[in-house]
Amino acid sequence: MCGIVGFSNCHFENKQKLIKLMTDSISHRGPDSEGFFVDDKVAFGHRRLSIIDIEGGIQPFYDETNRYILIYNGESYNFKELRDDLKKLGYSFTTNSDTEVILKLYIEFKEDAFLKINGMFALAIYDKKEQKIILARDRHGVKPLYYAIINENLIFSSEIKAILKHPEYKKELEYNALNEYFSFQNIFSDLTFYKDIKKLEHGCYLIFDLNKKLFDITQYWDFNFNSSSWQYNEEETIEILKDTFSNAVKRQMVSDVSIGSYLSGGIDSGSITAIAASNIDRLSTFTCGFDLSEVSGLELDFDERRYAELISAKFYTKHHEIVLNSKDLEWCIDDVMYYLDEPILGMSYPNYYVSELASKYVKVVFSGAGGDELFGGYPWRYYHTTNNGLGEDSYIKSYYDYWQRLVPDVDKEKLFTKEIYDKMDKDWPFKAFKNVFKNYKGNLETEEDYINKSLYFEAKTFLQGLFYLDDKLNMSHGVESRVPFMDNDLVELAQKIPAKYKIKNLSNVIRLDENETAKSKKYYIQSHDGKNILRKALSKLLPKEVVELKKQGFSAPDESWMRDSRKEYIENILGNSDLEKIFNMDYFKNKFDEHLNHKQNNRLLLWSLVSINSFFINERKN
């Protein structure tokens, strides 16, 4: 795992100093080594976390003719097979690294090469002869890549903070992204909080012509949940899924350094641990627990260490735990937001702490991300889609209304100051939401069609947000996170499995509020539904009580903490005069009062307040 940085137009002084400055800003992504390439057209920088072929994978990597130059962040789990195929075509290799394979795969197949890689990657290639830069991300979007076109020149990096170091970029807040975030607690579009800095979306490549100063983006792969060709019964499906999952975990175990696994106590991380532990002597596992002395209600079950310990004992792992209390948020939130670059999704600070724990023992760690999104782990979210006959426009509007999980559009004028609100495109959140489906290929006729469209939405929005969190918070401690559920073969299989095998009550889904505490666990207790085919396929790997448990993941009991020991901390944020330039703080104060008085659980909005406060604190520091 690594970090990459680059820009075009090197006709100015101190270009070597600039590329080093930008690369140093993401040194946490690659503490093992650094490398640079600079000519009169292009500058590339690379920070390396050595995982495969520690001595031979130095970057930037050049082909034998020096026509092509590659910087690459990620892992190709099928690189040995790809290398064998390339050898048959006459290619020779001087290293044992996947980096050399990726470059020669591109030389042979050009942009078609990206479809052949089973892995996670963000890369840049400089083709000197054609005078172009190629940027590309893996099909599922596991590895991040940002870019900006400034004064007809390209600037790019694994993280936003490096682009901010470039003197031609003038920092400015992107108001539509701010509006979008406070609708969804996520940014579904390619925008970021910084004007003109965009995300290269999953399954896409960008080609920048250095002579014409033009660029074009092509989507080479997209999610496609379609079970119309599936011909296997449930028992046959279970066996196919079990074998495919096992192969996915084993495939991702390629490494020249130690590997561990996060272990939250649920079936996703537990099953990964089961497979990995059978192939690694004394696998290290890591979990996060919580001090529950100030907690009440359903949050008393948020500490799931006992289930993680049960799995650890079964597979004889070397188990490590960290226990967080209500004050741990305050001590890390500015650092968390620095590494994230911008607010995104929910309470992520436990992931930061457990990654720090893992970094003391391993360089590579498995994550269970993707299981819920691929196999129907959130049935209560799909009830809006199980009413046949809604039609495309009604479906979009109904689902959009549901996903305004922070602030509905009707309240935006109350949330933002008039000056800020007037700078926003009022319809932008709906446009961004609708645009998620622009390339959707499925029909809307049956209940399964509606659920498959919802799974497509989850994969392209909240799963992408989880990947940004997973990558950045692990890389903040120099740890590479791998996601076996995003193996190419496993994803292709998951998309073909009928929804009726994933969710048994397609037309009778229990309704829950996204703000509701422990909603995953509550739903599973009430319905015993969600990820059914996955539970059956993995049931023999894990203890019965784990298979039947609906995990919380590393979710902290923030609803209770915000009413108790964290109350003063939030009150201090509410008095931050800097925020008054953006927000009508009375809106937050009223929502906090609702929360304190148990009138409404507003933990998601309050977390976003904490996040945006730290975002602006870091901006002021810089």
Q: At what angle do helices 447-460 and 391-403 cross, to 10 degrees?
A: 50
| Residue among 118, 153, 161 at smallest CA distance from 133 | 153
442 is in an annotated binding site: no
Segments in 360-487 forming alpha helices (H): 371-375, 391-403, 412-415, 418-422, 428-435, 447-460, 462-475
266 is in an annotated binding site: no
368 is in an annotated binding site: yes
- Backbone φ, ψ for residue 53 (5° rounding): 50, 70
Catalytically active residues are 2
Segments in 252-304 forming alpha helices (H): 267-277
CA–CA gap between residue 610 and residue 592 (Å, rounded): 12
In the numeric block, which tokens belong to residue 70?
Answer: 């590659």
CA–CA gap between residue 562 and residue 575 (Å, rounded): 16
> What is the Cα gyration radius of the chain?
24
* 516-520, Cβ contacts within 8 angstroms, sequence gap of 24 or more: 516/601, 517/297, 517/298, 517/299, 517/559, 517/601, 517/603, 518/298, 518/299, 518/301, 518/302, 518/552, 519/380, 520/377, 520/378, 520/550, 520/551, 520/552
| Residue among 531, 483, 546 at smallest CA distance from 314 | 546
CA–CA gap between residue 415 and residue 92 (Å, rounded): 61
Which residue ranges are tagged as binding site for L-glutamine?
Answer: 98
Which residue ranges are tagged as binding site for ATP?
Answer: 367-368
Which residue ranges are tagged as binding site?
Answer: 98, 367-368
